[in-house]
């Protein structure tokens, strides 16, 4: 007979705990790719805008990739950013995608963004230390939502949120310019400006911007090497 009750904190398919654990993994500054990163999420009436920079780095001293897409669709109307360890973030995204698909296949309706945030928080907390700090943004029957999910599983909802090494710089822009009732276009420009400020002064962020526009229609992700295209 199967287990009477599944572990609510573990992924249903695969297991974070069962992954081969390299004692050096996550600590090796010279070989583990980090995103550094500035990721910005803004929730407005018509949807959610997410902006991310495009740089990956090694040891905070070397740019290991100049064309990274750090926002991925994980839900028909939801996206997650990659922040922190690239391997940890990619594994996290694969797991959440399969959970979202399984939920829909079984129940005939998409998981709500609130429930997905709770699930993501459980995984971040219940598994090994994945060294990630993503933003979850999405649209459901309740409206538009932006959450930050911290490495210890803390889940916080806000109208706008920033994570990554450039967060203070991006927040400086948002605190000066954010106002209620922004349109999707205005929010896109503001999010890009926030990432731009971070790329100018944070060594972990740079090389352009990806914008994800999430509405009840779906997720549209576009990359821009040149900030002039979006500011």
Partner 1 sequence: MQGQNQQQAYDRGITIFSPDGRLYQVEYAREAVKRGTASVGVRTADGVVLAADRHARSPLLERDSIEKIHKADDHVGIASAGHVADARKLIDLARRQAQVEQLRYGQQIGVESLTKEVTDYIQEYTQTGGARPFGVALLLGGIEDGEPRLFETDPSGTPYEWQAVAIGGDREEIQSFLEEEYTEEMDLESGIELALEALGSVSDEGLDASGVDIATVDVESEQFTSLTEDDVAERVDEFGLEGEDDE
Task: List the catalytic residues.
Answer: 37
Closer of 131 and 155 to partner 1 (Cβ): 155
> Is 99 in contact with 117 (CB distance < 8 Å)?
no
Collapsed DSSP state (helix, strand, coil) of residue 92: helix
Tokens 């803390």, residue located? 154
x/- site string to partner 1, residues 5 to 44, per CB under 8 A? xx-xx-----------------------------------
Q: What share of the chain is helix, strand, coil (3-state, %, to 5)?
A: 30, 30, 40
Q: Is 104 in the site for partner 1 (CB under 8 A)?
A: no
Which of 2, 24, 142, 180 forms a contact with partner 1 (CB under 8 A)? 2
Q: Is 119 in the site for partner 1 (CB under 8 A)?
A: yes
> Is 142 in contact with 114 (CB distance < 8 Å)?
yes
> Is 182 in contact with 190 (CB distance < 8 Å)?
yes
Collapsed DSSP state (helix, strand, coil) of residue 174: helix
Which of 20, 107, 142, 180 forms a contact with partner 1 (CB under 8 A)? 107
Distance from C-alpha of 195 to C-alpha of 38, rounded to nearest angstrom: 6
Distance from C-alpha of 53 to C-alpha of 223, rounded to nearest angstrom: 9
Q: Is 106 in the site for partner 1 (CB under 8 A)?
A: yes
* Least distance in angstroms from the C-beta of 2 to partner 1: 6
Which of 64, 65, 90, 122 forms a contact with partner 1 (CB under 8 A)? 122
Distance from C-alpha of 204 to C-alpha of 103, rounded to nearest angstrom: 36
* Least distance in angstroms from the C-beta of 16 to partner 1: 15
Interacting span for partner 1 (CB under 8 A) from 3-11, 44-52, 164-172, 188-196: 3-11
Residues contributing to the site for partner 1 (CB under 8 A): 1-2, 4-6, 8-9, 106-107, 111-112, 114-116, 118-119, 122
């Amino acid at each position: 007979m199967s287990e009477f009750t599944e572990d609510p904190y573990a992924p249903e398919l695969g297991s974070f705990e069962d992954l081969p654990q390299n004692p050096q993994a996550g600590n090796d500054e010279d070989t583990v790719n980090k995103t550094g990163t500035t990721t910005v999420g803004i929730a407005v009436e018509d949807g959610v805008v997410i902006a991310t920079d495009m740089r990956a780095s090694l040891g905070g001293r070397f740019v290991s990739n100049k064309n990274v897409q750090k926002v991925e669709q994980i839900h028909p109307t939801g996206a997650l950013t990659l922040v922190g360890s690239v391997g940890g973030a990619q594994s996290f995204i694969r797991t959440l995608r399969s959970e979202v698909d399984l939920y829909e296949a079984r129940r005939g309706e998409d998981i709500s963004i609130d429930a997905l945030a709770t699930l993501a928080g459980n995984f971040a907390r219940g598994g090994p230390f994945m060294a990630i700090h993503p933003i979850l943004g999405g649209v459901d029957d309740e409206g538009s939502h932006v959450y930050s999910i911290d490495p210890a599983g803390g889940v916080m909802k806000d109208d706008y949120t920033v994570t990554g090494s450039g967060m203070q710089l991006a927040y400086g822009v948002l605190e000066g310019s954010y106002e209620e009732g922004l349109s999707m276009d205005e929010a896109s420009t503001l999010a890009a400006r926030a990432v731009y400020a971070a790329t100018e002064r944070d060594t972990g962020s740079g090389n352009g911007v990806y914008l994800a526009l999430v509405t009840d229609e779906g997720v549209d992700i576009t990359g821009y090497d040149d900030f002039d295209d979006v500011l």
